[in-house]
Amino acid sequence: MPHDGHTDEMSHLSDVELRVRALESVLTEKGYLDPAALDIMIETYETKVGPRNGARVVAKAWSDPAFREALMSDATAAISSLGFTGRQGEHMVALENTDVVHNMVVCTLCSCYPWPVLGLPPVWYKSAPYRSRAVIDPRGVLADFGVTLPAETEIKVWDSTAEMRYLVIPKRPAGTDDMSEEELADLVTRDSMIGTGLALEPTGTRS
């Protein structure tokens, strides 16, 4: 399946990506651009701005049964009904984590990622070790992320492609019955929507 050409080799970069890289080096060389500042901006889109959208989707699914049902049957439509649309978000599938099954997402070939709900992919998501180990040893990868699941929980690994992007709906933490959608969204981390993390406990510690 096609993966939009996001491979590690320069030769597989798109024309736009090559131009962006060339521009970045020229601007840095001439002193117009501070790579550290650029890293901070990218980090912001990786961890704050982007995943905020996904967190709102998850929080709504947790608190609104009709929305949850719509999301599970047609994630693309349900997500775009909240205004989150765009490139790499055209064919979304929602995967719900339960006591029985834990879903985890990878792109084994490159870095396919649901941009409209999660923003930019983190560096580790694009790394060769994650891409290969997620499939071979998902429990080991989860351990590296500090997540230990009961032995009886099945771990399902989903390979993203240009045709299909996945959003993991983490398990709703206990003790959150009285929380508003806004408060619930604060518990939904980026990693919990990739499946390499869990939603935060209301106290702020990992469940």
- What are the residues binding Fe ion (CB under 5 A)? 3, 107, 109-110, 112
**107 in active site:** yes
Cβ count within 10 A of residue 194: 29
Q: How far apart are CA 116 and CA 26, in angstroms?
A: 29
Q: How far apart are CA 28 and CA 177, in angstroms?
A: 50
Query: Exactly one of 107, 160, 192, 207 is catalytic; which is it?
Result: 107
What is the nearest approach in angstroms of Fe ion to the Cβ of residue 66? 32
Measured from the CB atom, the residue of 27 and 164 that comes closer to Fe ion is 164
Measured from the CB atom, the residue of 1 and 143 that comes closer to Fe ion is 1
At residue 195, the 3 state secondary structure works out as coil
Measured from the CB atom, the residue of 13 and 82 that comes closer to Fe ion is 13
**110 in active site:** yes
Q: How far apart are CA 43 and CA 55, in angstroms?
A: 17
Q: Using an 8 Å Cβ cutoff, are 56 and 46 in contact?
A: no
What is the nearest approach in angstroms of Fe ion to the Cβ of residue 181? 31
Query: Exactly one of 110, 160, 192, 207 is catalytic; which is it?
Result: 110
Residues annotated catalytic, as ranges: 107, 110-112
